[in-house]
Chains A and B, each alone.
Chain A
Amino acid sequence: MEIIRYRHDVWGEEVILGVSWDLLWVVAVAAFLLLAAHAIFMAALAKKKARPSSEGKRINRHDAIDRAFHWIMAGSVLVLIATGISPIVGIRISWLNIHWIAGLVLTFVCVFHIIRAMFWQDFKSMLLGPADFKEPFDESIKPGKYSFEQKGMHWAMTVLVIAVIATGITLFLNINTPWWDRPSVEDEGSLGIFFLLHGTATLGLIAFTAIHIYFAVRPEKRFYTRSMVTGWISEAEMKENHDTNKWKAE
């Protein structure tokens, strides 16, 4: 199995073409096995706890605009993944235009999110500090608004999405669009490196998207998913899972 694909450029020199799509299957299988193992472990071994009630006072967790951002981003990432891997797995759809349009949407909402998060939101609530790393190992420590896993997922997705956006924009500049014609490629090796990075980031994104979706549908986490739809969690859910000293809910 190869990790990186190489080709000869126009002058016969060997250059990087991109990541090997064999790795797509590796990622898919690895993610499946990991999540299946987790599911089995949780089902069989993990302590069963009564879930807090969703009744009672509702605490606002996500503003409508943030929920919209999340779902637009989620949609665009899923579209990007689906359109990106369809030609690799042999599905014949006219994917490219959908792919770059989804990429543009993702880029715009991410820029919007970054600006909003830095100036209008409690940016610190998402910061991952050294103290956060104790959280998984000490049941007595409850998180603020976001748990260690949520922060980890967020920052992992941040890095991966920025990576696919940055590399994707470079690749976008190399195709025809309504605004420009594709240029001549003087250094195929450099282009190949961008494809390699884009592909690698995509593989990571696929893995983390799978993990994210898995946790989103897990029973004990489903109230978070609900909050991403409706905006709220119950006070009980909040108190069960969060330290209200750290998360001063409005």
Chain B
Amino acid sequence: MSSHDVMPEMGLYQPVSVEDAVGLASQLAERGWLVGGGQDTYGWLKDRAKRPEVLVDLKGIESMRGVRETADGIEIGALVTLTEITRNPLITERYALLAQAAGRVASPQIRNVGTLAGNVAQDARCWYYRRGLNCYRAGGNLCYADTPEGMNREHALFNTSRCVAVSPSDTGTALVALEAQMVISSSSGERVVDAEDFFVGPNLDIRHMTVLRPGDILTAVRIPAKWANAEFYFEKVADRNVWDFALVSIAAAMRVNNGVIEDSRLVAGAVQCTPRRLTSVESAIRGKARNQETADQVASLAVQGAQPLNFNHFKMPLMENLVNRAVRGHA
């Protein structure tokens, strides 16, 4: 594949209202491409691995900015940058889990322009797919990563279905843990989808990472008060501490009373195509003390059912260790 590295000729719309943007997105459908911070956009377009005809630049839509307090929690505009998330007092004080996750995305430069919506809606980072190969995810007939000698160190352990890419989103795990809701506008109106259902695996839709379809715009993310000021644990292990995607990450929210875990949400990242709820661990720790002993008892539950590929067996002990840390509450 030649490296083009310049933008192809294409149209540009810069709507200033969600209504206009939705109208454009709906009218353009597959021909259009929504751009916010652009961190997942320009690589695709410059490499010409994706070929939309028109860009719809959402950055001019003021209503998609800002963090607002609501009757039941907060609402974060889709265009809020990751840096803003790490600094917003409403988030850092009540939902530090999200702030921690956002603070571990990529690099400061990318966080300064990258948005929350972009981070959760970004496409798979499988290197074969990103190279522009016509794999399953790109509409082709095969997966290059899941082969006898495929280079799949960063790929999935669970719930693969032809495609073995993982969810690259750091904030996605935190949002699922916080039971966030995604507000999606389209020409048929607004709908609200649980973060857990927002992400879709290849078994359901091999071409998309989320429920978003052409014409849909993720306008905001709502976080309910349920987990506000809970005990949180976030950790992302990547080769590099800056500008890298997770090898495995863990986001946990817990309600702990007198040292006993009353309720929890544990979500692992980069182990399957969507953030992975660890429901068996959640059940196992309910009513147990939050300590090392409990962690040692339940950590192995997290990797039950894992189906490692050639080079990603390490994700099993790594995931187990991170779950152990999340449950005991410290590194």
A interface with B by C-beta (< 8 Å) = 7-10, 12, 17-18, 87, 90, 92-97, 174-176, 181-185, 188, 191-192, 195
Contacts and interface: CB of A to CB of B under 8 A. Distances in A.
Given A7-B139, A10-B133, A191-B141, 6 more contacts: A93-B204, A96-B162, A176-B160, A183-B147, A183-B148, A191-B142
Interface string B196-230: 00001001111000000100000000000000000
Interface of B: 1, 133-134, 139-144, 146-150, 160-162, 200, 203-206, 213
- Interface of B, secondary structure class, is loop
A10 B162 CA distance: 17
A190 to B, nearest CB: 11
The residue in B133, B134, B142, B148 that gathers the most chain A C-beta atoms within 10 A of its C-beta is B142
Nearest to B202: A96
B148 A184 contact: yes
A92 B205 contact: yes
Given A9-B134, A94-B204, A181 B148 contact: yes
Instruction: Say whether chain A's binding surface is mostly helix, strand, loop, or mixed.
Output: loop
A188 B142 contact: yes
Q: Which 7 A-B pairs have the closest CB atoms?
A: A94-B203, A184-B147, A7-B134, A92-B204, A185-B142, A92-B205, A195-B141
Contacts of A188: 141-142
A174 B140 CA distance: 13
B134 A17 contact: yes
A8 B134 contact: yes
Contact of B142 (A90, A92, A94, A174): A174
Nearest to A6: B134
9 contacts: A12-B1, A90-B213, A95-B203, A96-B162, A181-B148, A182-B143, A182-B147, A183-B147, A185-B142
Contacts of B205: 87, 92
Contacts of B213: 90
A9 B139 CA distance: 12
A83 to B, nearest CB: 11
A183 B310 CA distance: 13
A241 to B, nearest CB: 46
Nearest to B128: A10
A26 B179 CA distance: 44
A246 B149 CA distance: 61
B151 to A, nearest CB: 12
A249 B160 CA distance: 53
A10 to B, nearest CB: 6
Contacts of A87: 205-206
A8 B139 CA distance: 11
B146 A182 contact: yes
A92 B203 CA distance: 8
Contact of A17 (B1, B140, B206): B140
B161 A94 contact: yes
Nearest to A171: B141
Contacts of A195: 141
A10 B129 CA distance: 11
A94 B144 CA distance: 21
Contacts of A192: 141
Contacts of A185: 142, 147
B197 to A, nearest CB: 11
A191 B140 CA distance: 11
B214 to A, nearest CB: 10
B141 A184 contact: no
A188 B141 CA distance: 8
Given A87-B205, A87-B206, A92-B200, A176 B146 contact: yes
Given A10-B144, A92-B205, A94-B204, A184 B149 contact: yes
Contacts of B141: 17-18, 188, 191-192, 195
A64 B206 CA distance: 41
Nearest to A185: B142
A7 B140 contact: yes
B273 to A, nearest CB: 12
A97 B204 CA distance: 11
A10 B134 CA distance: 7
A96 B148 contact: no
A91 B57 CA distance: 29
A87 B161 CA distance: 13
A12 B140 CA distance: 13
A145 to B, nearest CB: 43
Contacts of B204: 92-94
A96 B142 contact: no
A38 B19 CA distance: 47
A5 to B, nearest CB: 8
Nearest to B143: A182
A210 B143 CA distance: 33
A176 B150 CA distance: 14
A14 to B, nearest CB: 10
Contacts of B200: 92
A171 to B, nearest CB: 8
Nearest to A12: B1
Contacts of A94: 161, 203-204
B140 A96 contact: no
A158 to B, nearest CB: 27
A18 B204 CA distance: 21
A18 B136 CA distance: 13
Nearest to A184: B147
